[in-house]
Every structure is written in structure tokens, then in C-alpha cells.
Amino acid sequence: MLGCLLLVYMHLWQGAAAAPTREGPAKPSVTVSYERQTVREDDAVGVNLWIANDSDRELTDAEVHIAAPDFFEWREGGCEGGRLAGPLRLGTIHARSVVDRRLCLRTNPVIRVGDFNTLFTLSYKWEAGGGRGVHASGRTCRGSSSRRAATGR
């Protein structure tokens, strides 16, 4: 009986030792930084976005989807850049690299007052195994009314 258990254990141990090691799915990180946390009516705030790919895999078809209140408008390339009508397309993110983008958050003449979470979702593919991935990062921004502050209400 002990001999059978020993044989099974040795067989399992050899199988585990012979099994090829496989890197798990790519897990990039998303970091977002607002120049300031409070926005007002007809405001413009610079936003920096960094995506770090710490894996040995190249990420392809990378794009960032931004979910934010409807009175936020996003521009690519700073506040003078073009309006972002859909996802921010990043293309390929090479292994062990960082991609950075400068965005601008512009607000409408009428905004809601309060704290609002903005969700930045990175979607991507990696070639090995045909994998797909998604990573999300949220940031809070406060809407504040200059009219309210001026009237003291």
C-alpha cells in the first residue's frame, strides 16, 4: 500500500516538474491624474493618462473607453485637441513599456454640483493564446458651481 502511494506521489511530482511554465494573462495598469479635482461651468482641466504594460507580451488593439457624466467633454492632445467621440485608440502597447496620453476635460455651461466618478476602461488583446483583457480605473472629480459661490447660496 505504501509502495503504491509512493509511486503515485512520484508520478505526480514528475508530471508537475515536467509541466511547462506558462505566463498568465497580461495585466497592464492604468493611472489617471487630473490637474485639479474640482471643475466648474465652462471649465477646462488637463488630464494625464498612463498605461503600463509590465508583461512580456505585446498588447494589441488597445483602446480606452471613458464613462463620465454627460456634461463632461473629452479632448485628445490637451485642451486644444480634437473632441474624443468614441474610445481613445492606442493601438499596440509594446512589452515592458508605458504609453502616456494628454487629455482635456471640458465642461458645459450647465453642470451638476457634486462628486462624480469617471471610469477609464482599457480593453486590449494579446497574441499568445488569442487572449483578451479589460482593466478599469476610476477617478473622482467634483463639480462645483461658480454661480453658487458668487451668490452665497
Amino acid at the residue 31: T
C-alpha span between 78 and 127 (Å, rounded):
32
C-alpha span between 101 and 137 (Å, rounded):
15
pTM above 0.75, yes or no: no
pLDDT tens-place values along the chain, 153 residues long: 434 333 333 443 444 444 444 466 678 899 999 999 889 999 999 999 999 999 888 999 999 999 999 889 999 988 888 899 899 999 999 999 999 999 999 998 988 888 888 999 999 988 766 677 776 666 666 777 765 443 333
SS3 call for 24? coil
Which residue, among 101, 6, 125, 91, has the nearest Cα to 49 in the 3D structure?
101
Residue with cell 494625464: 48
